[in-house]
Structure 1
Amino acid sequence: MEDLDTLVLRRAAAWQAAGEPALLVTVARTWGSSPRPPGSLMAINGQGETVGSVSGGCIEDDLILRIREEGIEAVCAQGLPAVLRYGISADQAHRFGLPCGGTVELVLEPLQAHSRVAELLAACAARQGTERHLDLRSGVVTLLPGGTDGVPRCEGDVLVNHFGPRARLVLIGAGDLSRFMSEMALSLGFEIVVCDPRPEQRAGWSLPGVQLSHEMPDDLIQRLRPDARTAVVALTHDPKLDDLALIDALQSPAFYVGAIGSRRNAQQRRERLQEHFDLTPAQMARLRSPAGLYIGSKTPAEIALSIMAEVVACKNGIALPPQVQVAEAKGAEESLLGLEPAMADAWVCGR
């Protein structure tokens, strides 16, 4: 499953290629509380069919009604972008289901040849961060190299929005845990690569939408060259596979690098990496092991949930307190119970 922005752009490009009138709707700015943040996208065609969202549904309903009754040509006069605001008055806030005082500014852009949606999709597929500049006076679009993320901004009569590659998840090891993580990540719009050079582990492992690689993990990481939209998680418990992938991942801009295992195994892994490989203290500090948030997980599905929660938090730039991470939480529980570390790990896992 693709992320929502890609789905919106792909559907918009399909409508445009079929010669069907359509609009690309962008949340440009918000004031106060709003259901969807700036940068949220929706596409709508002349029949009122939509993909994506700019609110909880009420604003979409109003736009659909306008287009069905008036037509895209009337909503966007002379084929030029239009700016609409919802929620300015208390009556509008109530009518459109906006929180009290919330205001949403939308840019409605008729799709034309100079909209360059297909080019933008190609840039995202090539994992290129792109700034899309929309001239509100002419509707002309300029695509420039840019960051992978950012809040839209208005520079005079130009709306600047950021588009980057899909978040990518690289899993080392094909097993039950990687399957559950892949299923969750697919629903979250991640691009997923599962790597395992062991034929007995790969046998029977398949999941639609997931790339399965038989390369050595370090070769895969070097080939993929993880960027700031990539997470790498080692799941095999085999140092010959996990360590090699982690070494290269820790030296990359990947936003998340993690490995499963007990606290004792995690400490041994850190000692191996520091002793045998030229990693800086800052690079070592990026390793999240044991990976995941402490939720008392016992089954592979629960462990997958705990790791994916941490991955998503890191992707979204959330700095989580140490108390919610596995090692810190187990240490606190250990102190509470007066157990040795190995006994505490066994007690928590058994519980």
Structure 2
Amino acid sequence: MEDLDTLVLRTAAGWQAAGQPALLVTVARTWGSSPRPPGSLMAISGQGETVGSVSGGCIEDDLIQRIREQGIASVCEQGRPAVLRYGISADQAHRFGLPCGGTVELVLEPLQAQSQVPELLAACAARRSTERCLDVRSGAVTLRPGRADGVPRWDGETLVNHFGPRARLVLIGAGDLSRFMSEMALSLGFEVMVCDPRPEQRASWALPGVHVSHEMPDDLIQRLRPDARTAVVALTHDPKLDDLALIDALQSPAFYVGAIGSRRNAQQRRQRLQEHFDLSPAQMEALRSPAGLYIGSKTPAEIALSIMAEIVARKNGIALPPQVQVAEAKGLEEAVADADADAPPPQDALVCGR
């Protein structure tokens, strides 16, 4: 499953290639509360088909009606982009379902050859972070290297939006936990790879949309050269498979590197890595082990949920407090349990025989 931006761009490019008019709609600016942030995309075909979203649905309905009644050429005069603003008045906010005081400014761009959508898709497929600059006066588009997590910019004449490679998840080990994590990651728009050189582990492992590698994990990591949109998680409990791959991942720009295991196993792993490999304190600190957030996970599905939650938080730049991570949370829980066990009984407690 593709991430939403890629789906919007690919669908719009398909309409364009088929000779059907297509309109790319971008949230350029918002004031107050708004359902979708700047940079959000949707596409509308000349027949009123849509993909993506710029609001909770009411603005989309209005845009579809405009396209069906007037056509893209009328909405965007002379084939140039147009700017629409919704939610300026209380009546509009009520009509379009915007929160009180919310205002959304949209840029409507009729797609043409100069829109460079296929070129943008190719750059994303090649894992190149790209900045797309649209001149609203002429409709001309310029593509140039940029940050995948850059903030959209809009000055009333030029709209700058940022596109990057899909977030990628590399799982070391084929098993039940890998399957649940893969399914969740695919639904979140991640590109997913599972690596396991053991034939007995991968014999019955198959999941549509997931690439399965038979390489040694460290060979795969070296070949992939993880970028800042890559997460790597070791799931085998086997140091021969996990350790070398983790070393290579920790020395890369990967935004998340984790490994499952008990707190005792995690500590032993850290000792092995520190004793035998030249890793900096910052690189060792980057290792998330035990991986995941503490939610009382028991089953493989629950463990997968806890790890994916931590990965998504890290991808989105959210700094989580140590207390929600597995090792810290379990330590605090045990400390509370020990304190309760050592506490004297209350004075009015019942005593056996009385």
Task: Give the CA deviation at 1:338.
Answer: 1.7
Q: What's the counterpart of residue 37 of structure 1?
A: 37
Counterpart of 2:193 in structure 1: which amino acid? V
Task: Give the CA deviation at 1:185.
Answer: 0.4
Task: Give the CA deviation at 1:158.
Answer: 1.2
Task: Give the CA deviation at 1:29.
Answer: 0.9
What SS does the aligned partner of 1:285 have? helix
Q: What's the counterpart of residue 270 of structure 1?
A: 270
Write the distance in 2 (CA, Å) between the matches of 1:113 and 1:285. Answer: 48
Task: Give the CA deviation at 1:114.
Answer: 0.4
Q: What's the counterpart of residue 223 of structure 2?
A: 223
Q: What's the counterpart of residue 28 of structure 1?
A: 28
Measured on the aligned residues, the alpha-carbon RMSD in Å equals: 0.8
What SS does the aligned partner of 2:94 have? helix
What SS does the aligned partner of 1:84 have? strand
Write the distance in 2 (CA, Å) between the matches of 1:69 and 1:272. Answer: 68
Where does structure 2 lack aligned partners over 5 or more consecutive residues?
340-354
Counterpart of 1:8 in structure 2: which amino acid? V
Please show how residues 316-335 of structure 1 align to structure 2 within 5 Å.
316-335=316-335
Write the distance in 1 (CA, Å) between the matches of 2:55 and 2:230. Answer: 29
Answering whether residue 297 of structure 2 is matched by residue 297 of structure 1, we say yes
Write the distance in 1 (CA, Å) between the matches of 2:155 and 2:129. Answer: 19
Write the distance in 2 (CA, Å) between the matches of 1:152 and 1:177. Answer: 37
Q: What's the counterpart of residue 284 of structure 2?
A: 284
Of all paired residues, the percent bearing the same amino acid is 87
> Over residues 107-160 of structure 1, what are the superposed CA-to-partner deviations in whole Å (9 max), with x where a residue is unaligned?
000000100000000000000000001010100111001111122102461111
Q: What's the counterpart of residue 178 of structure 1?
A: 178
Q: What's the counterpart of residue 345 of structure 2?
A: none
Write the distance in 1 (CA, Å) between the matches of 2:29 and 2:240. Answer: 50
What SS does the aligned partner of 1:338 have? helix
Counterpart of 2:15 in structure 1: which amino acid? W
What SS does the aligned partner of 2:123 have? helix
Where does structure 1 lack aligned partners over 5 or more consecutive residues?
340-351
Q: What's the counterpart of residue 121 of structure 1?
A: 121
Counterpart of 1:59 in structure 2: which amino acid? I
Answering whether residue 68 of structure 2 is matched by residue 68 of structure 1, we say yes
What SS does the aligned partner of 2:88 have? coil
Counterpart of 2:150 in structure 1: which amino acid? G
Task: Give the CA deviation at 1:253.
Answer: 0.6
Aligned length: 339
What SS does the aligned partner of 1:83 have? strand
What SS does the aligned partner of 2:101 have? coil
What SS does the aligned partner of 1:133 have? strand
Q: What's the counterpart of residue 8 of structure 2?
A: 8
Q: What's the counterpart of residue 306 of structure 1?
A: 306
Q: What's the counterpart of residue 250 of structure 1?
A: 250
Write the distance in 2 (CA, Å) between the matches of 1:313 and 1:31. Answer: 25
Write the distance in 1 (CA, Å) between the matches of 2:135 and 2:41. Answer: 17
Task: Give the CA deviation at 1:336.
Answer: 1.3
What SS does the aligned partner of 1:174 have? coil
Counterpart of 2:188 in structure 1: which amino acid? L
What SS does the aligned partner of 2:294 have? coil
Task: Give the CA deviation at 1:230.
Answer: 0.4
Write the distance in 2 (CA, Å) between the matches of 1:183 and 1:114. Answer: 37
Q: What's the counterpart of residue 347 of structure 2?
A: none
Counterpart of 2:169 in structure 1: which amino acid? L
Counterpart of 1:327 in structure 2: which amino acid? A
* Normalised TM-score (structure 2): 0.95
> Over residues 257-284 of structure 1, what are the superposed CA-to-partner deviations in whole Å (9 max), with x where a residue is unaligned?
0000000000000010011000000000
Write the distance in 2 (CA, Å) between the matches of 1:155 and 1:261. Answer: 50
Q: What's the counterpart of residue 347 of structure 1?
A: none
Q: What's the counterpart of residue 238 of structure 2?
A: 238
Counterpart of 1:23 in structure 2: which amino acid? L
Write the distance in 2 (CA, Å) between the matches of 1:45 and 1:271. Answer: 58
Larger radius of gyration: 2
What SS does the aligned partner of 2:132 have? strand
Write the distance in 1 (CA, Å) between the matches of 2:296 and 2:279. Answer: 32
Name the CA shift for 1:322/1:151 in 2 (closer, same or farther; >3 Å).
same
